[in-house]
Structure 1
Amino acid sequence: MNGTPMLERLNAQLERLRTHSFHAARLPGRVASLQEFAERVPTMTRSDLVAEMMKPGYGAFKPHVPPVRVNLTPMGAPLVPILQSAADLRAIEAACGRHLDACGIGPGDVCLVTFGYHLFVAGLFYQSQMEARGVACISHGPGETERAAAIARQCGVTVLAANPSHALKLLDAGCPAPRVFFAGGESFTSNRALYERVRNAMPDTLLVDSYSLSECLPVARTFPGGTGLHVFDELLYAEVIDPETGMSVSPGKRGELVLTHLAKELQPLVRYRTGDLTVLDITEPVHGRTMSLPRSVFGRTDTMVKARGVKVYPSELRRLLDDVEAATGRYRLVVTRAPGGGDHLRFEIEYGAVDVPDASVIGAIGARFKQQTLIAVDRIDFVAVIDGDPVVQDMRK
């Protein structure tokens, strides 16, 4: 969408929220531009949502129409209810239906869903959108790989919704390669090693990556012919801000993803800080959508260290290890003062093999480090054990 239709939809939502118990005192009645929306509308956080949802009757998010679906999602210690009205579900199904149309999925297809159904959202989310488009849906749930593969063969499954690692196990167990694969539950297109393994196992399959939050469902998916994950901008307005200052950043710059519901009835979120690091690009229309997350999300904003004038979010460094065999996934960034002044960066990687990788692997990690953070790492060490929790040690203080 270009700015004018999106602005109209934002203003319509602001008008609807004028009497909302949580939002009324926080929001202007109308804004004249997307820039004014970013400047005048305050952000809200997950703690804001949790605080209200833990109150009797859900506090300021008390439903004004009856919810028809309640999922629960962990947000810190509590399980927080996520509410959907009938209209909310229809809007989700319509948006996802347009994506299914783009993927050529419809009546005659058979979808096997191996995501969980117990309390959480993913299983029902995929099942309901498939059924709304006339797709036969098998609600299998996770685990029991041999049985799931046998069911896929028996029922002629053409669409698979699964964790990518589990999908590979299903194929090893004899599950036929589906025509379309919906990935979720773990990094996919941003994990090059895992993506290539799935691509090699399903060479003729349309691979679909997705990004969603329980409280914002869905957010973005890969569309045929597109680049990255295109935002469902009929449901959401997406922005990226500097996590430290809260100011908007320009397209193509990394920062924290902020989302606004455009029409949601229950638990409407406005400028909701997801805590996820990403990049937002504006593209030519792809099936009517122009906002794309080219690398999905690649880290969290919870911990940040500034080195050489650049903000580094240590959680984003996890993606550098995706294709490093024997890496356990634990790592630490150590920032010290260089002898001649300036900052010295050492990247420690916990490694489960005796022999460390060769120079080409170390060089590739260094190159990805610079591509991700925009600064170079001075030293990469492979260590047997990384003790303690901190993923960053700032020794300059």
Structure 2
Amino acid sequence: MDMTFPRDAINAALGCIASHPFYAGRLPREVADAEEFVARVPLMSRKDLVSEMRKPGFGAFVCPQAVRMNFSPMGGGLVPILHTAGDLARINTAADHQLSACGIGPDDVCVVTFGYHLFVAGLFYQSQMEARGVTCVPAGPGEADRTAALCRDAGMTVLAGNPSFALRLLEAGMPAPRVFFAGGEPFTGNRTLYAAVRRAMPDTQLIDSFSLSEVLPVARTFPGGEGVHVFDELLYAEVIDPETGVPVAEGERGELVLTHLGKEAQPLVRYRTGDLTLLRYTAPVHGRRVNLPRVVFGRTDEMVKAKGVKLYPSELRAVLLGLPGVRGAHRLRVSSRNGADHLTLLVEGQLDDDASESVHRSFKSQTLVSLDALETVEHLPEGPVMLDERT
């Protein structure tokens, strides 16, 4: 029996969702194992969700029981994200386990600097903190000087917000929190930014997280673990080959696919996130075994296959993110020399020897293949991020 496939939880979800207006006639009510799940349950795209939510009354996803509606930018507009009271309670219960593991409780004061207007992150953190008895200050983003003073006056011990804004708050005189919840931008995946935050908060417990507006929370750092661990009481996570849709082996790169377990409003089944990651199963970390050791490191944009591996434009950004001397523009040129693939990375800016070595090292770690050449240029003409010159 495959212990990594939560058959009972999947079948409980299928039993409820199979009669849902959006899925009726498309899903089995139960499956025997992961292979049958993949064979009989179709993948769902973001386009499928957007198309349905733009129908009058949200189409088949109509949910009169919804008590919260946030919005997320998708498909060139804002798409409603719905939660029932039961959905919010399940999220808070799952988050409570992680907050407890971090030693957060009623004696803490949390300042939330994520946005509140329309979007999801601010209320998401506020709700889970309040459910645990934590005093919560809904500060929102911006006005660093005032927020830093507010943190001092309120006796802040926990901070939730973007890492780059947290650095601004520290510069403005905010005392370092005991625990910092990072989100909204790459954190552990951006070595430069993570190192800057670690230097500025040497004694702070740093928590990375990954969520989507339409699927939250997905995963979060747990003390004693690496990367982020999936909230597997809420979600079943798979990683597939973006081209074929076939699940990849454990530890291989691919596209993250998520299935809600027990979601009442807007349940998503085998939902293609478009995010590149790799998944491993670990020894239990606070009861959790499903791990994304490198969190999310790219998107399934235009793919080029070279040297036997699939390379994605967004992976290049992950390699270059935060490096001094990089001005922004970059291009991977794939050519053929003596019958073999040749990879040249063009970067706009100036890189010293240490930065150049870091690019070579990070590129191989990220993509599993080596760069053949790294060139810096003063100006990179407009064009594709991936340029395939092979004939």
Which TM bucket (shorter chain)? over 0.9
Alignment partner, residue 161 of structure 1: 160
Alignment partner, residue 187 of structure 2: 188
Specify the SS of the correspondent of 1:8: helix
The within-5 A match list for 1:125-140 is 125-140=124-139
CA distance in 2, matches of 1:306, 1:280: 21
The within-5 A match list for 1:229-308 is 229-308=228-307
Q: What stretches of structure 1 of length at least 5 have no aligned partner?
A: none
How many residues of Structure 1 are paired with residues of Structure 2 in the alignment?
390
CA distance in 1, matches of 2:149, 2:183: 22
Amino acid at match of 1:19: S
Amino acid at match of 2:102: C
Alignment partner, residue 39 of structure 1: 39
Amino acid at match of 1:273: R
Q: Any conservation in 1 of the 2:282–2:289 contact (CA below 8 Å)?
A: yes
CA distance in 2, matches of 1:26, 1:176: 54
Matched, 1:378 2:372: yes
Amino acid at match of 1:344: H
Amino acid at match of 2:58: Y
Alignment partner, residue 89 of structure 2: 90
TM-score (norm 2): 0.97
Alignment partner, residue 26 of structure 1: 26
Matched, 1:363 2:357: yes
Q: 1:231 to 1:386 in 2, by over 3 A?
A: same
Q: 1:5 to 1:76 in 2, by over 3 A?
A: closer
Alignment partner, residue 54 of structure 1: 54
CA distance in 2, matches of 1:149, 1:359: 38
CA distance in 2, matches of 1:256, 1:31: 23
Q: Any conservation in 2 of the 1:303–1:315 contact (CA below 8 Å)?
A: no
CA distance in 2, matches of 1:131, 1:360: 46
CA distance in 1, matches of 2:348, 2:124: 37
1:186-219 CA deviation, whole Å, 9 max, x = no partner? 1101111111111111111110000000000100
Alignment partner, residue 227 of structure 1: 226
The within-5 A match list for 1:67-82 is 67-82=66-81
Q: Any conservation in 2 of the 1:73–1:79 contact (CA below 8 Å)?
A: yes
- Pairing partner for 2:347 from 349, 364, 367: 349
Q: Any conservation in 1 of the 2:219–2:230 contact (CA below 8 Å)?
A: yes
Shift of 1:38: 1.8
Amino acid at match of 1:37: F
Q: Any conservation in 2 of the 1:115–1:123 contact (CA below 8 Å)?
A: yes
Alignment partner, residue 149 of structure 2: 150
Shift of 1:294: 0.2
Alignment partner, residue 176 of structure 1: 175
- Pairing partner for 2:388 from 382, 391, 394: 394
Q: 1:105 to 1:168 in 2, by over 3 A?
A: same
Q: In terms of mean alpha carbon deviation, does 33-42 or 152-161 score higher? A: 33-42
Shift of 1:372: 1.3
Matched, 1:332 2:337: no
Specify the SS of the correspondent of 1:68: strand
Specify the SS of the correspondent of 2:276: strand
Q: 1:386 to 1:26 in 2, by over 3 A?
A: farther
1:318-377 CA deviation, whole Å, 9 max, x = no partner? 111124202123211111121x122211101121xxxx3233432221121112112111
CA distance in 1, matches of 2:234, 2:176: 32
Q: Any conservation in 1 of the 2:239–2:254 contact (CA below 8 Å)?
A: yes
CA distance in 2, matches of 1:69, 1:6: 29
Shift of 1:4: 7.4
Amino acid at match of 1:290: R
1:27-77 CA deviation, whole Å, 9 max, x = no partner? 1121001222122211000000000000001111111x4210000010021
Amino acid at match of 2:70: N
Q: Any conservation in 1 of the 2:348–2:380 contact (CA below 8 Å)?
A: yes
